[in-house]
Chains A and B, each alone.
Chain A
Amino acid sequence: MIRINCPVCGLRDETEFTYGGDANVKRPAMDEKDPKVWMDYVFNRSNPRGDHQEYWHHTQGCRQWVILERNTLDHTVGQCRLAKEVK
């Protein structure tokens, strides 16, 4: 089990969170009309081997979405930031 250092709640078990996928993708602007751009956003992921930024939702805690650095190879976790504080 990984443990996630929620900026609001502190160090918590992964079981309090819900995984939210790759945090590197950026949602296109609302007025974006190009389907290709949207396809990239919804479907295309780089799936790196090693350090990765991903969304986790503290569903059973403060209900904040966080961006967690996790190594996909050895499961070590690094910095954890509130998504809303990352522009």
Chain B
Amino acid sequence: MSQKKRLAKGGRINRGKAIKVMFDGRSYQGFEGDTLASILLANDVSLVGRSFKYHRPRGVFSAGVEEPNAMVHLREAGRHEPNVRATLAEAYDGLISSPQNAWPSLKADIGALNQVLAPFFSAGFYYKTFMGPGSGTRFWMMCEHFIRKAAGMGRAGDQEDPDHYEKINVHCDILIIGAGAAGLAAALAAGRSGLSVLLVEQDRELGGGLLDRPAGEDSDSWLQETVDQVRAMETVKILTRTTAFGAYDGDVYGLVERVWDHAAEAPEYQVRQRYWQVRTKQAILATGLIERPLVFGGNDKPGVMLSGAVRSYLNRYGVLPGQHVIVSTTNNSAYDTASELAAAGARVILCDVRKAVPVKLSERVAASGVQLMTGHAVLEAKGFGKVTSALITPVDETGRATGLAEQIPCDLIAVSAGFAPVLHLWSQRAGKPDYDSEKGCFVPKADSIPSMTCVGGMIGNGSIKTSVTDGFKAGLAAAEACGAGIEGEAPDISFAGTDWTEMSSQIWSITKENGKASGKAFIDLQHDVTRSDIDLAHREGFVSVEHLKRYTTTGMATDQGKLSNLSALARMAELRSLAIPEVGTTTFRPPYTPISIGSVVGHDYGSHFRATRYSPIHDWHPENGAEMIEAGAWMRPWYYGASGKNLRDAYISEADHVRHHVGMVDVSTLGKIAVQGPDAAEFLNRVYVNGWKTLQPGRIRYGVMLREDGFVLDDGTTARLGEHDYFMTTTTSNAAKVLAFMEHLLQTAWQDLKVHVTSVTDQWAAIAVAGPQSRTLLQAAVTGADLSADSLPNNHLVSAEIDGIPVRIHRMSYSGELAYEVYTPSGYGYALWSQLTDVGKAYNLRPYGTEAMGALRIEKGHVAGPELDGRTTLKDLALGGFASSKKPFVGSVLKNREKLEDPARPSLVGLEFSGENRALSGALLYSQGAQTEGHGEGHVTSTTYSPALGKNIALALLAGGADRLGDTVQVVDFVGDTRCTATVVSTHFFDPEGDRQNA
């Protein structure tokens, strides 16, 4: 029969709209407003999943975020989501879900064999069996595959998620988390101030615990009125289906809004989830409570549920989960559940561990026909696959049986062992909570964070009236703290609740007379940690809670111990004969509940993983067959398809072409920095190792910079454009670092220098034109400048025009050929490149990419990124000659440290290979005949085939390299496992005299 456990009336579901959901291949009917869990319960589906370790049958245990058992796979294909708590999954027509951690099927699960083997899977099983010396690790490697398959939670999706997610930044004055009675009262007060208020609720509806009370009571009309009032306030923004998962420094909060999780798909372009990063002045936490289960034998069986959850299914969803109910409680709250179940037609026995209970409650349940058994508790849940009976026993004040147990048939056991305040967000900021030994729960320390106020159930308050009053006061106080004080009276509520804190007992588990559980008593349902696992850990000496947690894994599942924390601590305290606060508690960290990676990533994936920089000339390159390559944040042309059929052919052809004709390469990515001011020359003199005081306007100089610690930072050229105006270039990769460093010096130690440094990388496009024909070509292209060797020698610059485009031509060479860098404002870069391409046709001009550029510079022995790796000194790179001895500069003292002067340090050498031999960057170097072990005597930094020399060459850092020219070394690449030998040579492979670039 469909929905056989659904009551004919009642609940807050929309009975006018029937929906169908799929679970485990079967279709079930429910109503709009249901969760997947409430539909399964309505349809009498007791078996929902298998447990983590023992594969025991499990059913729905709770009605909220704390659900440890009913974890399912939701949706299919790219929208597949594992580990969804069925209690949170809002049902929609067509929802598809399936059980996880069961194979081949939920009913006939092979892993259930683990129950028989359970004694072997006790606490520390993995450590004892698989770790440590001897065969352990090897045995693990053998077993891992099978264990991983049998254990664990849901299966992750393997298809791309088609949905969109986004992040939004929000600023508000008052953030209120939780929209139960306390949170709503806070919003009511804060909203009147006109300040911007954000009210956040994880449920789809406002009301919190009020929604679990019978519909139509006084509390309903108060709720409706209050919600209407809050909604009418323009400055109050309400977010439902939104979980505040993290509280961070600076009063920043992380929220995830499940925008379209309640539908199969989001409408086109709309996001499934939204990550809110909220910055607030004041926060009010009204996050409520989570009920704690009672620990007894078989307490994990389908049919054992939290008392409050049973009440929620009854009153909110119109589902009566059992006909013959035993309620086992330690506190007052279950009296509501018991009497409402009885009123709905169930036969109810209420066991209360307390011998004395408040009279008004005993009278009330008696009037509803509930059989009250004080001083009693459930000792063990019995039944195969699900609960069919319970052993009920009289107990003493420690929860030990004091007499014979009686077996009573039942189909539902509702349990309550008090409540745990949801203080997670508070604790994330403030640390360890206080223990309230009256109420038996951890509570936030009062006034620990001035900008955060905790109200309602989460401070251990058991009265709705107090919650409303305190919430309202907190709202007023938060407004006051924001400088918008207002006055007002808290709403007077006409209804009351049952105060769970009144006379509550502090019994966590029920045992036999000998102090042992009757059967398997679970503390952590999701991670299958039993009471005896805690005992075992204690016997083995794990007494710190942090060790206990990691050894037994209690509280380490996706629910992070929301149900189990206190039971585990209480048991450990008992074993150690300490009070609970002396045992301590573990730390709460974000996220409060699991959040999807998608929500945090937002748009930042794929091509938007990070922002990309494009040269002003960029579009030309792919339009003309360039293969592009990432270089830091930039995209650069790697090589052009027209040059060869693959990378190697192409770059060799391009580099060769430059040596014989003329080529051009886009060097707009160079870091460019304007250095301006009357003290600019002095500044350059300090940051570069070489001298700058003599550089005349119109001239260019190469320079090297060190870090403060004496290692090489970067190299580049600086041109003097005017009296107080210099134009510095840095390597592409170090541009940001160099600029920030120079800004730091000028704003701190060198405040007296009148110098400004400004990035002009975006202002200028740059093209390097290189090759014997470069002068002829440029002279043909320019107007207004004489580029002859006499007029424009090396390291000089001139301004001119090319086809009306303003350009500045720097004569300088990186390739070793006669070469120029042509600068033009960015917006003209593409036009200039195109114009040079046109003019260049007559001179056999070809574009070349970064790979050929690298080949040319290696042939010349110029250092670049791989050599400037932050671990090399001037001497290491044979740049020592640049350093001035006449002036101090950044790093000038520390570069002379003894260890940095050691001639045995790896220094820059060239390597030549014979035949097909070559090396990859990173290959290690060893002397001939030496054992190829350890870190070697150096490593290869840059490699290329040299078209000019007709052989493979490389730059390398080799210990004592300067004295080893002519040696043969072994070159070993352990990654690719290739080995060869090479001859150590000078780094000036090609044209060592520099005749070509000075032509």
Contact = CB atoms under 8 A, between A and B. Distances in A.
B535 to A, nearest CB: 38
A45 interface: no
Given A38-B893, A42-B894, A31 B888 contact: yes
A32 B888 CA distance: 8
Nearest to A15: B277
Contact of B252 (A3, A18, A30): A3
A58 B8 CA distance: 64
A59 B740 contact: yes
Given A3-B250, A30-B888, A59-B740, 19 more contacts: A1-B248, A2-B250, A3-B279, A13-B252, A20-B744, A26-B749, A31-B888, A33-B893, A35-B893, A35-B896, A38-B708, A57-B740, A64-B747, A65-B743, A65-B744, A77-B250, A83-B744, A84-B747, A84-B751
A49 interface: no
Contacts of A42: 708-709, 894
Contact of B744 (A14, A57, A75): A57
Contact of A14 (B250, B745, B896): B250
Contacts of B686: 30
Interface in B672-696: 686
A32 B743 CA distance: 21
B453 to A, nearest CB: 18
B749 A27 contact: yes
A58 to B, nearest CB: 10
B250 A83 contact: no
Given A42-B709, A57-B743, A65-B743, A83 B893 contact: no
Interface string A2-42: 11000000000110001010000011001111110011011
Contacts of B896: 35
In the complex, which of the residues B248, B709, B740, B747 has the most CB atoms of chain A within 10 Å of its own CB atom?
Answer: B747
Contacts of A27: 745, 748-749
B contact face: mostly helix, strand, loop, or mixed: helix
A46 B686 CA distance: 28
A41 B707 CA distance: 13
Interface of B: 248-252, 279, 686, 708-709, 736, 740, 743-749, 751, 888, 893-894, 896-897
Contacts of B709: 42-43
B894 A18 contact: no
Contacts of B251: 3
B464 to A, nearest CB: 35
28 contacts: A2-B249, A3-B252, A13-B250, A13-B252, A13-B279, A14-B250, A20-B744, A27-B748, A27-B749, A30-B888, A32-B888, A34-B893, A35-B893, A35-B896, A35-B897, A38-B894, A42-B709, A55-B748, A59-B736, A59-B740, A64-B747, A65-B748, A75-B250, A76-B249, A83-B744, A84-B747, A84-B748, A87-B751
Q: How large is the interface on A (under 10, 10 to 19, 20 to 34, 35 or more residues)?
A: 20 to 34
Contacts of A64: 747
Nearest to A30: B888
B894 A83 contact: no
A50 to B, nearest CB: 16
Given A31-B888, A35-B896, A42-B709, A63 B252 contact: no
In the complex, which of the residues B250, B708, B740, B749 has the most CB atoms of chain A within 10 Å of its own CB atom?
Answer: B250
Nearest to A77: B250
A39 B249 contact: no
A43 B894 CA distance: 11
A66 B896 CA distance: 32
B747 A41 contact: no
Contacts of B744: 20, 55, 57, 65, 83
Contacts of B249: 1-2, 75-76
A2 B248 CA distance: 8
A62 B515 CA distance: 68
A85 B535 CA distance: 63
Contacts of B751: 84, 87
A52 to B, nearest CB: 15
Given A3-B252, A38-B894, A59-B740, A83 B279 contact: no
Contacts of A1: 248-250, 252
B688 to A, nearest CB: 13
B740 A83 contact: no
A42 B897 CA distance: 13
Contacts of B748: 27, 55, 65, 83-84
A77 B748 CA distance: 21
Contacts of A20: 744
A65 B279 CA distance: 24
B708 A41 contact: yes
B871 to A, nearest CB: 15
Nearest to A74: B249
Contacts of A14: 250
A77 B251 CA distance: 12
A78 B745 CA distance: 24
Contacts of A35: 893-894, 896-897
A7 to B, nearest CB: 12
A55 B749 CA distance: 13
**Which 9 A-B pairs rank lowest in CB-CB distance, beginning with the nearest?**
A27-B749, A3-B250, A84-B747, A75-B249, A65-B747, A38-B893, A83-B747, A30-B888, A1-B252
A55 B744 CA distance: 9
A12 to B, nearest CB: 10
B123 to A, nearest CB: 35
A57 B686 CA distance: 22
A18 to B, nearest CB: 7
B888 A39 contact: no
A61 B409 CA distance: 71
A26 B747 CA distance: 13
Nearest to B889: A30
B113 to A, nearest CB: 48
A75 B651 CA distance: 52
A6 to B, nearest CB: 13
Given A35-B893, A41-B708, A83-B747, A18 B740 contact: yes
A13 B751 CA distance: 27
B251 to A, nearest CB: 8
A61 to B, nearest CB: 13
Contacts of A30: 686, 888
A17 B686 CA distance: 26
A17 B298 CA distance: 55
Contacts of A82: 747
A34 B250 CA distance: 42
A87 B752 CA distance: 10
A51 to B, nearest CB: 15
Contacts of A55: 744, 748
A77 B746 CA distance: 25
Contacts of A84: 746-748, 751
A73 B251 CA distance: 16
Contacts of B740: 18, 57, 59
Contacts of B736: 59
A84 B751 CA distance: 6
Contacts of A77: 250
A23 to B, nearest CB: 8
A63 B673 CA distance: 14
A77 B379 CA distance: 54
A41 B894 CA distance: 11
